[in-house]
Amino acid sequence: MSSDFYKASILPYAAIIIKICRAYTNSQEDFEDYYQEVCLQIWRSRENFNEHAQWSTWVYRLSLNVCLTLLKKKKNTYQHFASDMLPEEAAVDSHAFADESLNQLYDAIKQLSEVDRGVILLYLEEKSYQEIADIIGTNPNNIGVRIKRIKERLKKLLDGKVN
Amino acid sequence: MEKSIETIWKKGFLESDALVAPKINNLYGQKSKTIIDRLKRMMKINTYVIAIFAVLNTGLYAFLGTPYTGLFLFFLFMVACWVSIRQEKSLKNIDINLSSYEYLKSFNDRLKSAISGNAKAMRFLYPLAFIACLMPIVHSLKKVDVTREAILNSGLHLTYGIPTVAWAVAILIAIVMYIFGKKIYYWDVNLVYNRIFKKIESMINEMEELRK
């Protein structure tokens, strides 16, 4: 990946990638691995990009796909190891950001299902229901209801009503 | 909860250090290690499988009435094991302090050179193994009355109780196997390791492109 490509096509969208990768990782080390893998995947897939689509939408989609794939791989790996390895790995790094409320919000988001995490991240990034549906690959009619349900769950989680 | 999640999100990311992109480095560090460890593991398993098969095969040949051929094949399989172990050892001495690219490249070069060296040794092994595999057939043809009589009454010139023409065909096949021994060996190796070899090659190509 040339540094020109990184600077022109990835760095302006780094915020998107960071926000998504943070939602799917629990440690700084994992976050950096996921971030690198997303960047690499964007570079690899650059020729598949449809000129009619938005680059940012493409970045969202790839970022989510890569994170979900890596998460799945990690889960499969865990299944091959003894359970005594899990607690350390599962330890959550709750201090990724300086803003404590944002850290708490991320902790709550991480408790959602993998797809719901993607949906709420896209919602918070002010994507339209149609765009969210396109990226997630679902029916736009369901998105509104789903977001409402996710927000209620997040509210409960942030209020400390749900463990 | 005092603030909405939308407010927390917007306000949280106003912090200047919240969205600093991590530096991209050592992109393939862990991947290189994982793929090479996998290949080494496969090679070790392959050696064990050959050794176990060699023992079982010796027993089978003894049962078929050709124990010496079984022992000869056992020897050939042990040569194959030795080739495999030598291959593994040659890959162990690569400096792990090299960068991922240099490590993977060096590993790939050594692997190719080891395979090329082994191919030279293996081209003798295939025809010998082929001839040895025919021995139980020769033994049973001579042992069973019907086939023995048929051969004796065929009017063909016999060598060691078998038509000389049959020996000639077998030797011809063995010579062809010797000539194409390298190709057979590469086919044999690719049958087991092709996917992982391709993966290493594609990683190296990708890394070369990334370095541009």
ipTM of the complex: 0.79
The two three-digit tokens of residue B27, written as one number = 């992109």
Q: Mind telling me how many Å the CA of B53 is from chain A's nearest CA?
A: 28
Subunit contact A102:B8, Cβ cutoff 8 A: yes
Q: Bigger pLDDT: A116 or B100?
A: A116
Domains of chain A: 1-82 (1.10.1740.10), 94-163 (1.10.10.10)
Per-residue exposure over A68-84, b if at least 16 CB sit within 10 Å of its own CB, e if not: eebbeeeeeeeeeeeee
pLDDT at B52 > cutoff 80 = yes
Task: Report CA B1 to chain centroid distance, whole Å.
Answer: 62
Q: Which of A129-138, A152-161, B98-107 has the lowest mean pLDDT?
A: B98-107
Query: Nearest CB to A99: which of B6, B11, B212?
Result: B11
A102 to B18: CB separation less than 8 angstroms, yes or no: yes
In a 3-state reduction of DSSP, which class is residue B21? coil
Burial class of residue A1, CB neighbours in 10 A (0-12, 13-18, 19+):
buried
The CA distance from A137 to A119, in Å, is 11
Task: Give whole-number Cα distances, A28 to A16, A91, A93, A97, B22, in Å.
Answer: 17, 11, 7, 11, 10
Nearest to B39 by CA among B110, B132, B124, B127: B110
Q: How far is B193 from chain A (nearest CA, A)?
A: 22
Nearest partner of B150 among B138, B160, B142, judged by Cα: B142
Inspect the interface and report whether the beta carbons of B210 and A102 lie closer than 8 Å: no
CA distance B184 to B124: 11
B184, B129 Cβ separation under 8 angstroms? no
The residue of chain B with its CA nearest to that of A22 is: B19
Strand partners, B162: B159
In chain A, positions 60-119, which contact chain B (CB-CB < 8 Å)?
97-99, 101-102, 104-105
Backbone angles phi, psi at B158, to 5 degrees: -110, 145
Contacts of A111 (CB under 8 A, 6+ apart): A157, A162
Cα–Cα distance measured from residue A90 to residue A83, given in angstroms and rounded to the nearest whole number: 11
Calculate how close chain B gets to A138, using CA atoms only, in Å: 23
Residues A101/B11, Cβ–Cβ less than 8 Å: yes
Q: What is the pLDDT of residues B141-167, one digit of tens each?
A: 888 888 888 888 888 888 888 889 999
Per-residue confidence band for A93, with pLDDT thresholds at 50, 70 and 90: low
The predicted-structure confidence for B20-46, as pLDDT tens digits, reads as follows 777 665 556 666 777 788 888 888 888
String of DSSP letters for A81-123: S-GGGHHHHH-----SSS-HHHHHHHHHHTTS-HHHHHHHHHH
- In a 13 Å sphere around the CA of A12, the CA atoms on its Cβ side amount to 6
Name B158's bridge partners: B163
Considering just the CA atoms, what is the radius of gyration of chain B in Å?
28
Q: What does the block give as tokens for A33?
A: 């691995």
Give the model's confidence band at A77: pLDDT under 50 very low, under 70 low, under 90 confident, else very high: low
Letter for the amino acid at A157?
L
pLDDT (average), residues B90-96: 71
CA distance A64 to A62: 5
Query: What's the pLDDT at B55?
Result: 93
Domain segments of chain B as ranges: 30-211
Most confident of B9-18, B25-34, B83-92, B121-130: B121-130
* pLDDT higher than threshold 60 for residue A91: no
CB contact under 8 A, A159 and B1: yes
